[in-house]
Amino acid sequence: MSSIKIECVMGEKLRIGESPLWEEKEGTLLFVDITGQKVYRWNPASNNLQTVSVEAPVGSVALRNSGSYVVALGNKFGILKWEDQSVTTIAHVDEDKPNNRFNDGKVDPGGRFFAGTMAQELQPAVVERNQGSLFVLLADHSVITHFDKVDISNGMDWSLDHKTFFYIDSLSYSVDAFDYDVTTANISNRRCLYRLGKEECLPDGMCIDIEGKLWIACYNGGRVIRIDPETGKNIQTVKLPVDKVTSCCFGGKDYSEMYVTSASDGMDDQWAARQPQSGCIFKITGLNVKGIPPYTFAG
Ligand SMILES: O=C(O)[C@H](O)[C@@H](O)[C@H](O)[C@H](O)CO
Ligand SMILES: [Zn+2]
């Protein structure tokens, strides 16, 4: 018998919840509302919710050092200092593409911040194609461009041995893998690991678990799925009470709980009435697998 439990845990309804991340030291879940232009810090134990409003759509946030974070904001990389609610720009990208913005991002095992861009959506998942790129912010604040011609740059993570980089360009409906060199951040040998089925819809955010399996949030697919990168097979599906599932991470005690973000943008009144929890953060317990702590930006 399955003991999986899914609860909507955070009262606030987000427009596009994304980039969930467990900050162990604080016992808090960090996340963003992309179009709501806010970064959140929520403590599940006390239910204390803190927010910082930012001046542009914020695609992702990652750990830096105590009280400060790296953010992918508009078309800039910035350092967010929570205490004074300030963001200092450290690098620009896509300056020739004023309609672009950052989307998902994550720190690699070498302490670099990876984040990709996309054209601003006309409506959810409708974008001018091929406008995005995948960038890497190094500790010295210089930026590498890994590749361009991305539609919607989304989830990423690294294998437990750091030798593989997993990546999602949502409109390809595919979860891809690259060989990864953690000493140089080089990627090579791109291949498709898993192609989403019709009901799974669009792959969005992703995270790896302690067994090296990938969890993919299925946007408009109302579920997270667990993929075995060795076999390229779906080994588990967990359905949620909302369609617009955007990302997932492990957190809580020993990283034994999964937190899932969702979106409410782009739903008509009927759809929204049918799924009133759209935009909530969900906690899934009873998965019987743990995650790993997020890496910290070295710069
Ligand atoms: O959260 C994101 O990654 C995008 O910014 C969203 O708008 C959607 O998830 C996307 O349209 C589905 O791929
Ligand atoms: Zn996303």
pLDDT on residue 2 = 65
Element (H, E) at 29: strand 28-33
What are the pLDDT digits (tens) for 13-37? 999 999 999 999 999 999 999 999 9
- Measured in Å, residue 107 CA sits from the centre of ligand 2 at 15
Q: 8 is written with which tokens?
A: 């909507």
In this structure, what DSSP letter does residue 220 have?
A: T
- Measured in Å, residue 15 CA sits from the centre of ligand 2 at 12
Contact between residue 175 and residue 168 where contact means Cβ atoms under 8 Å apart: yes
Alpha helices in 205-296 (DSSP H): 269-274
Q: 155 is written with which tokens?
A: 């989830």
What are the pLDDT digits (tens) for 30-85? 999 999 999 999 999 999 999 999 999 999 999 998 789 999 999 999 999 999 99
User: How many Å apart are CA 215 and CA 221, to the nearest integer?
Assistant: 14
Give the number of the ligand closest to the Cα of residue 205. 2
Q: Which atom of ligand 1 is nearest to the CA of 121?
A: 7
Q: Does domain 5-285 have CATH number 2.120.10.30?
A: yes
Q: Which atom of ligand 1 is nearest to the CA of 246?
A: 9
Pocket (CB within 6 angstroms of ligand 1)? 16, 18, 34, 103-104, 121, 124-125, 152, 154, 170, 202, 204, 219, 246
CA 14 to chain centre: 15
| Beta-carbon neighbours within 5 Å of ion ligand 2 | 104, 154, 204-205
Domain ranges of the chain: 5-285
User: How many Å apart are CA 80 and CA 38, to the nearest integer?
Assistant: 12
Q: Model ipTM?
A: 0.91
Q: 26 is written with which tokens?
A: 């604080």
Q: Is 95 marked as a binding-site residue?
A: no
Give the number of the ligand closest to the Cα of residue 14. 1
- Measured in Å, residue 169 CA sits from the centre of ligand 2 at 9
Nearest CA to ligand 1 atom 5: 103
What are the pLDDT digits (tens) for 87-144? 999 999 999 999 999 999 999 999 999 999 999 998 898 999 999 999 999 999 999 9
- Measured in Å, residue 1 CA sits from the centre of ligand 2 at 32
Could you give phi then psi for residue 238, rounded to 5 degrees?
Answer: -120, 115
pLDDT on residue 67 = 82
User: For this structure, is 157 an active site residue?
Assistant: no
